Structure 1
Amino acid sequence: MGHQDAQDKDRMVSDFSHADPVADQALDWYVRLRDGKPDAATRADFLAWLAEDPRHEEEYRGLQILWNSKPFLNAVKALPVDRSELMRPRRRSWPLRVAALAASVLLAAGIWQYSSLTVAFQADYITATGAQMHIPLPDGSTMLLNTDTAVALDFDAGRRHVRLLQGEAFFDVVHDPAHPFTVSGQYGEVEVLGTAFAVRTGADEDEVVLERGRVQVLCLCDGKDKAVLAPGETVSITASAVSPVHAADPSATLAWREGRIIFENARLGDVLEELRRYHRGAILVADDRVNQMKVTGNYRLDDVEGAVRTLADAAEVGFYRVPGGLIILR
């Protein structure tokens, strides 16, 4: 691990706040002892903390196993006990491979949610992970924000413009030929006169799905690459182009409006990727063969853990839930 990676890892661990104060203390000690070279005073303080409560030792040991590292071994060298006994797991029942995978996903998938100050300062409305918000707009149109979504509005001087800063939103637009309604994402802009459609923005592309009416989709790259959608069609926009128009099933694609996720003969990996958007923790698959399995279902989005558990049972794979909201399938 490089120096910058180590700093990032320390920052992620130290910034995480656990509901259990003992777990918080263990996390704090983990960061302080990560390099395995505590001075005498630090080591003495650590050993005193261990002696205060048997849970302290167990929480730290569980964290050390979870992150697949060795600060604990180095810090207890002076303890007058059998270290092999000290390191023996007591209540933890996670397989070591699962623990190692947990460590990797905590770093890579971002189990701790950080608020983007840039988005917060720009946004007029923001939804939390797993939440939705119905918003009446000044012109009589309506907007429904999906999970982890932020938007900025501009309805001054006859303008009707919404900027989708992140996430996904559905719009039911009041017809007004004199004042076109526009929605811009990261890479594209949608222009309508009166219609109902959804826009979703991501790291690599924007997606537009039309339920009724008619819209024109422009690439913000140069404004020349464009597409016109009819009901039941979808298109994606990247930093350089608008994709060909494809058929879509709005009743399934937009089922999130009713708090559902619907899929038929879909890759389990794709389904899990969608469910991750509604889960405050992280969902990890240990074996890529599991991702390739085909599944069909209709699940509630307010019970992501239950949906994943049912999918795991259907795929006949193990389901593990690690403290902190991490779910692992293997």
Structure 2
Amino acid sequence: MTGAASHRLAEALDWARRLHDPDFADWDGHLAWLEADPANAALFDAVSLDLEAATAGLAPEPAPEPLPEAANDNPPAGVGRRWWLGSALAAALVGVIGIAGWTFRAEAPSSPLTIATALGQTRAVRLADGTQVAMNGGTTLHVDRATRAVSFGEGEAYFDVVHDPARPFRLQIGAASVEDIGTAFNVRRHDKMIEVAVRTGVVSFDPDGGTEPDDDAVILKAGQAIRIVDDRGAVRRVDRASVGGWRTGQLSYGDVALSEVANDLSRAIGQPVRLAPGDGMRRFSGTFKVDADAATSVRRFAAISGMRATRDGAGWRLTPEG
């Protein structure tokens, strides 16, 4: 590895470490570094993705036992989650770099990377091309680092895509696919339901992924959404401002099954919200706010949907009023 390449790698590793600090605030500096050299973004992404893989599944270590007061009247402060995070990152970076040094290659790794969030957890991911992805709770993505392709599992995510006509961004959702034509859009998938809503730009939605001779691709523009349930779909107009509204805690619906809203609410608060099968078929239209307090969020939704919310083990049960 040349001196220049080694220096760039050290910078990328340093940015990866700093961005994991809860108090990180130098976003302008990070953007300036990314834009200073086209290779920086790819290098940073490669380091970050390898770091994600290296730290996957790690759990915080328990806080160390305090020393006896006689041995130390002034125990060190600040030992806790941040200390552990720094230690885990350091260990992971050793694994990424390797004993003999890690050599960055311009080509992306061939093995796909799985990125997932637990219920109640959100996450922001930046891909090598600069595309930004906000992941809602209970979401799984499989990123092909050799191409601009992402496979969508279950859950919900908002994509702000960097447009490149020479290398289109492609999102696979089961048998269906979405291809970017310069856009920001939101995707939800649960059981047999898929919904794609466009906030800005245009996407091409193909229900069979382009595998059939007669191409059924549908062009969706800003303010449009397509909803597929049991292989039957319809395009409708949506409020552009509401697309991806979950990122600020706002959930909006137009004539959907109550069970679908309960599933989204479970994803947001990290606690199961249950209904009886017959109650889940009720229809709901409206907008409500989800905040940090799960009980308030569930009761708020129950109030506007004509339901009663009661505790049900670790979660909630919704039953009709009266």
With the shorter chain as reference, the TM-score category is: 0.5 to 0.7
Q: Which amino acid aligns with 1:298?
A: F
Which has a greater percent of helix?
A: 1
Which string of whole-angstrom CA distances, capped at 9 and with x for unpartnered residues, describes residues 79-98 of structure 1?
xxxxxxxxxxxxxxxxxxxx
Q: Which amino acid aligns with 1:141?
A: T
Can you give the 5+ residue segments of structure 1 that lack an aligned partner in the other structure? 1-120
User: What's 1:231 paired with?
Assistant: 222
User: What's 1:278 paired with?
Assistant: 268
Q: State how far apart, in whole Å, the 1-side matches of 2:258 and 2:230 are.
A: 28
Can you give the 5+ residue segments of structure 2 that lack an aligned partner in the other structure? 1-110
User: What's 1:171 paired with?
Assistant: 159
Q: Which amino acid aligns with 2:220?
A: L
Q: Give 1:124 deviation, angstroms.
A: 2.3
Q: Which amino acid aligns with 2:180?
A: V
RMSD: 3.2
Q: Does 2:313 match 1:327? A: no
Which string of whole-angstrom CA distances, capped at 9 and with x for unpartnered residues, describes residues 213-265 of structure 1?
11111122634221011111111346756x34211223224210212224578
User: What's 1:197 paired with?
Assistant: 185
Q: Does 2:194 match 1:206? A: yes
Q: State how far apart, in whole Å, the 1-side matches of 2:307 and 2:229 are.
A: 36
Q: Give 1:152 deviation, angstroms.
A: 1.1
Which has a greater percent of strand?
A: 2
Q: How does 1:148-167 map to 2 (within 5 A)?
A: 148-156=138-146, 159-167=147-155
Q: State how far apart, in whole Å, the 2-side matches of 1:317 and 1:200 are.
A: 24
Q: How does 1:296-315 map to 2 (within 5 A)?
A: 296-313=286-303
Q: Which amino acid aligns with 2:185?
A: F
Q: How does 1:88-127 map to 2 (within 5 A)?
A: 123-127=113-117
Q: Does 2:220 match 1:220? A: no
Contact 1:263 1:298 in 2 (8 A): no
Contact 2:288 2:301 in 1 (8 A): no
Q: State how far apart, in whole Å, the 2-side matches of 1:321 and 1:179 are.
A: 50
- Structure 1 window deviating more from structure 2 (243-252 vs 206-215): it is 243-252
User: What's 1:182 paired with?
Assistant: 170
Contact 1:132 1:144 in 2 (8 A): yes
Which string of whole-angstrom CA distances, capped at 9 and with x for unpartnered residues, describes residues 103-162 of structure 1?
xxxxxxxxxxxxxxxxxx975211110111111110111111111111111232xx2111
Q: Secondary structure at the match of 2:154?
A: strand
Alignment size in residue pairs: 207
Q: Give 1:312 deviation, angstroms.
A: 3.6
Contact 1:186 1:205 in 2 (8 A): no
Q: Secondary structure at the match of 1:153?
A: strand
Q: Which amino acid aligns with 2:249?
A: G
Q: Secondary structure at the match of 2:186?
A: strand
CA separation of 1:204/1:262 partners in 2, compared to 1, >3 Å: closer, same or farther? Answer: closer
Q: Give 1:183 deviation, angstroms.
A: 0.5
Contact 1:285 1:291 in 2 (8 A): no
CA separation of 1:326/1:140 partners in 2, compared to 1, >3 Å: closer, same or farther? Answer: same
CA separation of 1:291/1:303 partners in 2, compared to 1, >3 Å: closer, same or farther? Answer: farther
Q: Give 1:163 deviation, angstroms.
A: 0.8
Q: Give 1:275 deviation, angstroms.
A: 1.4
Contact 1:211 1:231 in 2 (8 A): yes
Q: TM-score, structure 1 length as denominator? A: 0.54
Q: Secondary structure at the match of 1:245?
A: strand
Q: Give 1:326 deviation, angstroms.
A: 3.5
Q: Give 1:321 deviation, angstroms.
A: 0.9
Which of the residues 137, 142, 145 maps onto 2:132? 142
CA separation of 1:140/1:234 partners in 2, compared to 1, >3 Å: closer, same or farther? Answer: same
User: What's 1:245 paired with?
Assistant: 235
Q: Which amino acid aligns with 1:307?
A: S
Contact 1:183 1:189 in 2 (8 A): yes
CA separation of 1:218/1:150 partners in 2, compared to 1, >3 Å: closer, same or farther? Answer: same
**Higher Cα Rg, which structure:** 1
Contact 1:235 1:244 in 2 (8 A): yes
Contact 1:293 1:315 in 2 (8 A): no
Q: State how far apart, in whole Å, the 2-side matches of 1:302 and 1:149 are.
A: 19
CA separation of 1:298/1:213 partners in 2, compared to 1, >3 Å: closer, same or farther? Answer: same
Q: Secondary structure at the match of 2:268?
A: coil
Q: Which amino acid aligns with 1:304?
A: A
CA separation of 1:161/1:239 partners in 2, compared to 1, >3 Å: closer, same or farther? Answer: farther
Q: Give 1:327 deviation, angstroms.
A: 3.0
